[in-house]
Amino acid sequence: MSAADLHTMTGAYVLHALSDEERTEFERHLEVCEACGQEVRELAATAGRLARAVSVAPPADLKADVLRRIATVRQQPPHTPPPGKTGGGAGRGRQLSRFALAACLAAAAAFGGIAVWQHERADDAGERAQQAQQQSEKLALVLAAPDAKASTGRLTDGATGTVVVAKSLNQAAFVAAGMPGPPSGKVYQLWFNDDGTMRSAGLMDPAHSTESVLLDGPVDQASGIGITVEPAGGSKEPTSDPVALMNFPTA
């Protein structure tokens, strides 16, 4: 595994989404890489705060419902690689799948605040709650899709971002950690990159440095995403240079 690959595994390490072999190799890397060590500590602290902020008592019937579902859902057989093929792309695919599932948990926790911010001006509280739930469910479906693939990279001022694409759903999600706040009266806007033409994919919450966003609109032929700083409320097209560009995962 290259040093460049190791630098992008901080999020997966914090979310316990690495195989035993990958974890061992990454922990050796942590012993000599101060930057990754600092990023791991910050991500772990953020995850802890996020969990405490959204912790709630589970419904009384949750256990019975889970047991009922276990009894009725057929377990998928384990995947066995062809003879002579071990690790490599297959191993990476399993890692991304585990990461998507782990990210789903973090995203579900973070999304509550995001959904309220996006719909805080709705007059009807019941409608607002229903909209938030629908968005949260759609986000979870993307992150946990069987074909979900993820790509992680560094953004502006030490922030990290992970873009998750589910081609079967023609949708994508973006998970950011450590994003610096935009200037007063400004907002981060996400864009699909359609062969150099930017198409709006929604806004990020300026009050949160860590959040998960369901990109607004279909992926279609987009090759990646961009992030720009725009006036509050967003723009029809970018009015500033991108602060970050990320390609969609290809494998």
Domain extent listing, the chain? 3-54+91-143, 149-247
Share of the chain above pLDDT 90, in %: 25
pTM over 0.75: no
From the list 174, 186, 153, the residue with the least C-alpha distance to 217 is 174
Report the DSSP pairing between strands 171-177 and 244-247.
Answer: unpaired
Highest-pLDDT range among 21-35, 96-110, 225-239: 225-239
Q: Mean pLDDT lowest for which of 153-162, 194-203, 223-232?
A: 153-162
- CA–centroid distance for 63 within its chain: 28
Q: Are 186 and 173 in contact (CB under 8 A)?
A: no
What is the rounded distance in angstroms from the CA atom of residue 144 to the CA atom of residue 120? 27
- Is the pLDDT at 140 greater than 90? The verdict is no
174-217 pLDDT, tens digit each: 988 888 999 999 999 999 999 889 999 999 988 888 888 899 99
Are 122 and 130 spatial neighbours (Cβ–Cβ below 8 Å)?
A: no
Please say if the pLDDT value at position 231 is more than 60: yes
Q: Which two tokens stand for residue 226?
A: 């961009």
Would you place residue 74 in the very low, low, confident or very high pLDDT band (cuts 50, 70, 90)? Answer: low
Residues with Cβ within 8 Å of 100's Cβ and at least 6 positions away in sequence, in order, are 143, 144, 145, 148, 149, 150, 164
Average pLDDT score over the chain = 74
- Nearest residue to 171 via CA among 203, 145, 197: 145
**CA-to-CA distance for 190 and 202, rounded, in angstroms?**
5
